[in-house]
Structure 1
Amino acid sequence: MAATQVDTTLNPRVASLKPSKTMALTDLATKLKEEGADIIGLAAGEPDFDTPAPIVEAGVEALRQGYTRYTPNTGTSALRKAICAKLQQENGLTYSPDEIVVSNGAKQCIWQGLLAVCSPGDEVIIPAPYWVSYPEMARLAGAEPVIVEATPAEGFRLTPQKLRAAITPRSRLLILCTPSNPTGAVYTKEELEALAAVVAEHPRLLVLSDEIYEYIVYPPAQHHSFGALPGMWDRTLTVNGFSKAYAMTGWRLGYLAAPRHFAKAAAVIQSQSTSGASSIAQHAAVTALELGPGGGPLVQQMIAAFEQRRDYVTQRLQQMPGVQLDAPQGAFYVMPEVSAFAGPGVEAKGFGPVPDVDTLCRYLIEKANVALVPGDAFGAPTCIRISYAASMETLTKALDRLEAALAPANFTRAS
């Protein structure tokens, strides 16, 4: 009897998704390391610090005390109350516990927020450079991403003029990330107020404010929550979490704070997908929030180290001919402009043509043993993203290699 052919058709929304280049390059760097190559990976956005000891001890104690069962879908009462207190005291945002949804990381919160408020045919306005997952999440929700370029000359920050020009009757959601992944840009309060004035002109337009890098800000820059601006609470979904500031990436814990009808919708989605987050991580997160404003002294020590690394990496890159970079104001990334090393007619000695930054990153991992992320993954095709969430020793070695690999003598451009 002849075997029937299997129908391998995928959901069109899933089939159209692009894999994360950040994860792909991180996986490639790991694979090459396992094969014995001396690869320095500066692709992933993960702090190189251990989770602060009091948080770890709280997690261990949760295990000892038997906090190993399912929690309520939206999170434990203790954690949601602690999040409400934090948002009130530090962000000027007033929520009740039933307006908080604790999830398995901020990424899940963003996805659930998008799915809750967007309908097929809606438009999601995304300033570029953007985090790689925003456009793909919009597509998966059936919405259309509308990419609006924010240039280096604009500090990689969306202007009110560009926002106004991008809005149509189909516009449903504006995504803002400050401090920004991938650029490290931080919006001033005045800049956010100017954007809020445009948003207020359009009753249907909501804002998803991704504030996961909130604590990682370098003076004189300051973080401001969009939802705390006059008239913006009702239309803002605020996303935050514990991964970046508290070095808790593996604990997988984030939260969405939103008006009750939006939070309830996100909670229903979660109840039919993952259900509640880890009971142990939630118990530890209460202790994290008790460390104090700004994460307390232990977190501030990490941020001081990030600032020192930011200064070093920025200075080194600015000294390299052909690299254009302004110092970022937050997060732990730099996004230098490197069009001098990629484009039509560009060739690298001993490697071949370098038509784009994708190829440039392949050149750097092959010739310099340094793994970075090409900027086109973030909507910035002439840039590369470098994470400086690594030790000074590692960063020094990586920048020495990059400086040698990007020496002008290694590149030619056909006239």
Structure 2
Amino acid sequence: MISYPNSKLPDVGNSIFSVMSGLANEYQAINLSQGFPDFNCPEPLIQLVTQYMHEGFNQYAPMPGVLKLREKISLKTEKMYGYRPNQDTEITVTSGATEALYAAITAVVRPGDEVVVLEPCYDSYAPAIRLSGGSPIYVPLALPDFSVDWDLVKKSISSRTRLIIINTPHNPTGAVMTKQDMDTLARLIESTDILVISDEVYEHMVFDGKQHYSALQHPQLRERSVVISSFGKTYHTTGWKIGYAVAPAPLTNELRKMHQFITFCAVTPLQLAIADFMEEESHYLQLPDFYQAKRDFFLEQLKHTRFDVIPAAGTYFQLVKYDTISEEYDLDFAKRLTREIGVAAIPVSAFYHNKTDNKYLRFCFAKSEATLRAAGEKLAKL
């Protein structure tokens, strides 16, 4: 009999996104759980992909990414954040932001290192840290606004701290870090060799007149940060899995060593199409208004429910608090909501390493008005 090796991630099963989407399909529920739009990407972008496929651009792209796309990323970064990264040495196109995260983490984390993680957090951070031999050091965000308690962060830093991971706008909470937050982080690590990964995939989804403040705008953070973005979020193409990382040349060099042995390159015609479509600056410049309208419409539907709501400051996720409705564990409540009410959500405990239950659910509002209205009607029956 074969003796199979022990699991490297024995406590990891199917992601909560797979679980809840599967449950939504089983019960024919409206799926507001997994974060993907139910509307299509811009038609001109589809036409560009088709054009490049027909023109024969179907072989490997350069490992760092198609040059034209890296040039467009460089120009866009300068327009948005006042810093122009070198397209040859500081920008890497990846197979989605999750691959960029994995490549960045594995490039810098070694056995015995500690990584400060603010939670609730995206579920790929900790497994990548652990697979590299590092230890996640969890720091909870402060309720009810999920702001960063920098005193707690300071207390979590040790001589073994290699990396701090931040995420703004924040998944799952919708919180947005400020310039003051970035200044505080910079002061906290200025006399250390601690590096930063700044997960900024929802950079164009910030509401109510607020601004996204990128680590790339902060000179002291920029020199020690890997900043990660996602075309999947920006262009409603989550299934294309095209993201990118901006980092100083020494960090980029190490990240690319990982990237070349994970996927080697991202899909060629998609990169070329996105590079051309980036000329349409109005798309991403109008994205805050586009998604705020969806958020506001969904909030209007939620007024007819028993949920307590603080409007999301960013992303396309809205948290709701249900403690006045039920004392059920949030996963049990989310499953019952799917089965009995017909709307699927994500329990926020899934974003905590110890499954902390503060009685929150996360809904995705990157949906058509018809979908959001139908969901609201169902939720009002609860």
Size of the aligned set, in residue pairs, is: 377
Q: Which residue of 2 aligns with 1:325?
A: 309
Contact 2:33/2:364 (8 A) holds in 1:
yes
3-state SS of paired residue (1:243): helix
Q: Which residue of 2 aligns with 1:20?
A: 15
Q: What pairs up with 1:16-415 in 2 under 5 angstroms?
A: 16-30=11-25, 32=26, 37-97=27-87, 98-153=89-144, 155-201=145-191, 203-292=192-281, 296=282, 298-299=283-284, 303-317=288-302, 320-321=305-306, 323-343=307-327, 354=328, 356-379=329-352, 381-382=357-358, 383-405=360-382
Aligned equivalents of 1:8 and 1:72: distance in 2?
Answer: 37
Identity %: 28
Is the alpha carbon distance of 1:259 and 1:280 closer, same or farther for their aligned partners in structure 2, counting shifts above 3 Å? same
Name segments (4+ residues, structure 1) moved above 6 Å. Answer: none
Is the radius of gyration larger for structure 1 or structure 2? 1
**TM-score under structure 2 length normalisation:** 0.93
1:7 aligns with 2:28: no
User: Where does the alignment leave 5 or more consecutive residues of structure 1 unmatched?
Assistant: 344-353, 406-415
**TM-aligned CA deviation for residue 200 of structure 1:** 1.7
**CA displacement, residues 127-171 of structure 1 (integer Å, 9 cap, x when unaligned):** 122112222222222211111111233x21213222112111111
Aligned equivalents of 2:113 and 2:322: distance in 1?
Answer: 35
Task: Give the residue type in structure 2 aligned to 1:73.
Answer: M
Aligned equivalents of 1:189 and 1:158: distance in 2?
Answer: 13
Aligned equivalents of 1:375 and 1:384: distance in 2?
Answer: 5
User: Where does the alignment leave 5 or more consecutive residues of structure 2 unmatched?
Assistant: none
Q: Which has the higher contact order (CA 8 A, sep 6+)?
A: 2
Task: Give the residue type in structure 1 aligned to 2:379.
Answer: L
3-state SS of paired residue (2:277): helix
**CA displacement, residues 298-323 of structure 1 (integer Å, 9 cap, x when unaligned):** 445554342122123334445644x3
**TM-aligned CA deviation for residue 326 of structure 1:** 1.1
**TM-aligned CA deviation for residue 338 of structure 1:** 2.3
3-state SS of paired residue (2:188): helix
**TM-aligned CA deviation for residue 341 of structure 1:** 4.2
Aligned equivalents of 2:98 and 2:157: distance in 1?
Answer: 25
Aligned equivalents of 2:220 and 2:13: distance in 1?
Answer: 36
Task: Give the residue type in structure 2 aligned to 1:215.
Answer: H
**CA displacement, residues 44-80 of structure 1 (integer Å, 9 cap, x when unaligned):** 1112332112222221111121111111111111111
Contact 1:159/1:195 (8 A) holds in 2:
no
**TM-score under structure 1 length normalisation:** 0.86
**TM-aligned CA deviation for residue 106 of structure 1:** 0.7
Contact 2:301/2:372 (8 A) holds in 1:
no
3-state SS of paired residue (1:86): helix
3-state SS of paired residue (1:269): helix
Contact 2:29/2:339 (8 A) holds in 1:
no
Contact 1:180/1:330 (8 A) holds in 2:
yes
Task: Give the residue type in structure 1 aligned to 2:266.
Answer: A
3-state SS of paired residue (1:213): coil
Deviates more, 1:20-29 or 1:39-48: 20-29
**TM-aligned CA deviation for residue 16 of structure 1:** 3.8
Aligned equivalents of 1:95 and 1:134: distance in 2?
Answer: 25
